[in-house]
């Protein structure tokens, strides 16, 4: 019961990884706002059914939850989402940004609409709820009511960390989320808020084709079950994770890994402006001294 008494908002919680998060938080004692617009895997259509079904599951198990069907990438909708937690449970302790969908294409066939839609739901859909939650926590801090171990957990992806062929829009959005995470961690620390991200791999509507050939481990452990992702997210949402912020964790099956991301590498400083003709040899030296980059997924 490490979440006992805490209030959590989970976006995209009607299915897949988000649903697993909502159930896991409730099982550990949290009151949960289950947000899901009920769209198809490509973002089309809407339905209140998925969010309401997860709320019913939580309540059947003795937990507390309410449904919210707002579009997280809509500014007013994101504000209503945060308001749902405050109106129903009186506070907000944790925001888990998880909502998203895919529209995969190679860059030469990727349309403007497909680019905009994916960037909107993933990147703006992280920023808008984060903005409204952060504004609430700042107001609480300024009023002398410092939030009790407030937490944000964002959802990036291996595609955002390393790139993925056929997913230029998704990779760019998820890389943006990783960047947003470290900035938010730096800015919100003064209000007692930690901000981290996960890059999960699990079997969901977005990945079912990718993992269709993957089988459960011989001991009966389903390595691709979305429920494998949630324990780390619940821990990051708990008071126990104080001091862990601005980090990105890769998680799948029984594996947890800390991604190290971009770092300053080898350098040469001439102390003056370089001539173009000089730089070929310099770049060759830098490449020779640096580790080889991880390969892009799908190469």
The residues that are catalytic are: 157, 170, 174
| Contacts of 240 by beta carbon, 8 Å cutoff, 6+ apart | 2
| Secondary structure element (H or E) that encloses residue 67, with its range | strand 64-68
Burial class (CB in 10 A: 0-12, 13-18, 19+), 277: exposed
- Cα–Cα distances in angstroms (integers) from residue 238 to residues 15, 78, 85, 222, 286, in the given order: 23, 23, 17, 26, 42
Could you write out the DSSP letters of every residue in 214-233? ----TTS--TT-GGGTHHHH
Token duo for residue 195:
């901000």
Burial of 143 (0-12, 13-18, 19+ CB in 10 A): exposed
Per-position DSSP letters for 172-198, written without gaps between them: HHHHHHHHHHHHHHHHHGGGTEEEEEE
**Residue 171 CB contacts under 8 Å (≥ 6 apart), including other chains:** 157, 159, 160, 163, 164
Who's near 150: CB < 8 A, 6+ residues apart? Answer: 92, 93, 94, 137, 191, 192, 193, 194
């Amino acid at each position: 019961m490490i979440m006992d008494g805490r209030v959590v908002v989970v976006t995209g919680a009607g299915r897949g990884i988000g649903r697993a998060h909502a159930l896991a938080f409730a099982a550990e004692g949290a009151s949960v706002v289950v947000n899901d617009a009920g769209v198809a895997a490509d973002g089309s259509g809407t339905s209140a059914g998925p969010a309401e079904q997860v709320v019913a599951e939580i309540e059947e198990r003795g937990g507390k939850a309410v449904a919210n069907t707002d579009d997280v990438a809509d500014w007013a909708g994101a504000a209503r989402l945060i308001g749902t937690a405050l109106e129903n449970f009186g506070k907000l302790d944790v925001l888990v940004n998880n909502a998203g969908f895919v529209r995969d294409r190679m860059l030469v066939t990727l349309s403007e609409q497909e680019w905009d839609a994916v960037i909107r739901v993933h990147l703006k859909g992280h920023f808008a709820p984060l903005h409204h939650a952060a504004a609430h926590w700042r107001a609480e801090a300024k009023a002398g009511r410092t939030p009790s171990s407030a937490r944000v957990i964002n959802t990036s992806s291996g595609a955002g960390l390393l790139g993925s062929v056929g997913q230029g829009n998704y990779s760019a959005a998820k890389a943006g989320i990783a960047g947003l995470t470290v900035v938010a961690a730096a800015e919100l620390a003064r209000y007692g808020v930690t901000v981290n991200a996960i890059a999960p791999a699990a079997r969901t509507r977005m990945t079912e084709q990718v993992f269709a050939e993957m089988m459960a481990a011989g001991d009966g452990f389903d390595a691709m079950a979305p429920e494998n992702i949630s324990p780390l997210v619940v821990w990051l949402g708990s008071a126990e994770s104080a001091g862990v912020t601005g980090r990105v964790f890769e998680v799948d099956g029984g594996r947890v890994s800390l991604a190290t991301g971009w770092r300053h590498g080898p350098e040469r400083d001439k102390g003056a402006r370089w001539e173009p003709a000089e730089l070929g040899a310099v770049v060759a030296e830098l490449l020779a001294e640096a580790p080889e980059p991880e390969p892009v997924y799908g190469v």
